[in-house]
Amino acid sequence: MASPVIELDEVRKTYRTGAIEVEALRGVSLSIAQGEYVAVMGPSGSGKSTLMHILGCLDVPSSGQYQLAGEDVSAMDEIDLAEVRNRRIGFVFQQFNLLASMTAQRNVELPLSYAGVPRESRRQRARDALERVGLGDRVDHRPGELSGGQQQRVAVARALVTDPTLVLADEPTGNLDSAAAEDVLRLFGELHQQGCMVVLITHEAEVAARADRVIRIRDGAIAYDEVGVR
């Protein structure tokens, strides 16, 4: 196994809501290597969303260590985290989260504009990414003019346009019909084939079955971690 790109060591996360402390993660240790395709499963309230937030650098652990590509992100401030998210992580959300006022191309350009990529190369890279997800002929369409499956493919293009270390997908097929869901899952398969690390959060067993490795979370801890379930 290659040296891990993601390494979590005894990660705990505690939330405080009023007087009650909720321990969402109770010591999760996990390593994911370059090019792995991982599905994270678990019932709601299991802590899988919290794990996704920490993996995606949207939040920091209360205790424990998180190394992402050799960088300790567990103690970073908001500004450094934003920079790490921009450079390392491509997000795909259940709700697509495309900006309705912008064309597909401008949506895909967005993370590049935060990275300070010059306009010309930004445009070219966005077009290439849309080409990769099979939407080369839809660059000037706005999200409202695209089907749900197409919108999610634009979101995938936005996730991979920065060549991220990790593509993190949170229930990416949750809002899609089965044909569109199949399209998007095939796309993740292709990304994996091309050597991209994909972490997919889902509660559907058939979606998880597409991954090489399935991690089940229960009560804030890893209950099951199996490589090569297929």
Partner 1 sequence: MTWSDVFGNGWDAIRTHKLRSMLTSLGILIGIAAVVLTVGLGQGAQQKVAKQLAALGGNLLIVSPGSSTSGGVRGGFGSASTLTMADATALTSKTAAPDVSGVAPVLQSSQELDNGSTNWTTTVVGTTSSWLPVRGRTLESGRFINASDQASAAAVTVLASDTASELFGPIDPVGQTVTINSVPYEVVGVLTSAGSDSTSNLDDQAIVPFSTASQRIVGGTNRTSVQTIYVKASSPDRLSAAYQETNAILQYRHAITASSTTDFSITTQQSVIKTSSSVDNTLTTLLIGVAALSLIVGGIGVMNIMLVSVKERTREIGLRKALGGTPALIRRQFLSEASMLGLTGGLLGVAVGVGGALLLPHFISNPIAISVPWIAVAIAVAIAIGVGFGVYPAARAAKLSPIDALRSE
- Interface residues toward partner 1, by CB under 8 A: 53, 56, 58-59, 78-79, 82-83, 85-87, 91, 93, 95, 97, 99-102, 110-111, 113-116, 158
Whose Cβ is closer to partner 1: residue 21's or residue 78's?
A: 78
CA distance 126 to 44: 35
Please check whether residue 10 is in contact with residue 29, taking contact to mean a CB–CB distance below 8 angstroms: yes
Smallest separation, CB 117 to partner 1 (Å): 10
Q: Is 107 helix (H, G, I), strand (E, B) or coil?
A: helix
Closer CB to partner 1, residue 89 or residue 214? 89
The two tokens of residue 58 are 């949207």
Tokens 């309230």 -> residue: 45
To partner 1, the closest distance from the beta carbon of 81 in angstroms equals 9
Q: With respect to partner 1, which residue has the nearer C-beta, 84 or 214?
A: 84
Of the candidates 192, 187, 190, 193, which has an alpha carbon nearest to the alpha carbon of residue 172? Answer: 187
- Give the up-direction half-sphere exposure of residue 3: CA atoms within 13 A in the CB hemisphere: 4
Return the number of the residue (59 or 182) whose C-beta is nearest partner 1: 59
Minimum CB separation of residue 230 from partner 1 in Å reads 30
- Judged by beta carbon, residue 126 or residue 214, the one nearer partner 1 is 126
| Least spacing, CB of residue 1 vs partner 1, in Å | 30
- Rounded to a whole number of angstroms, the minimum distance from the CB of residue 53 to partner 1 is 5
Q: Quick one: 57 exposed, middle or buried, by C-beta within 10 A (0-12, 13-18, 19+)?
A: buried
Four-point Cα dihedral 211, 203, 157, 61, nearest 10: -90
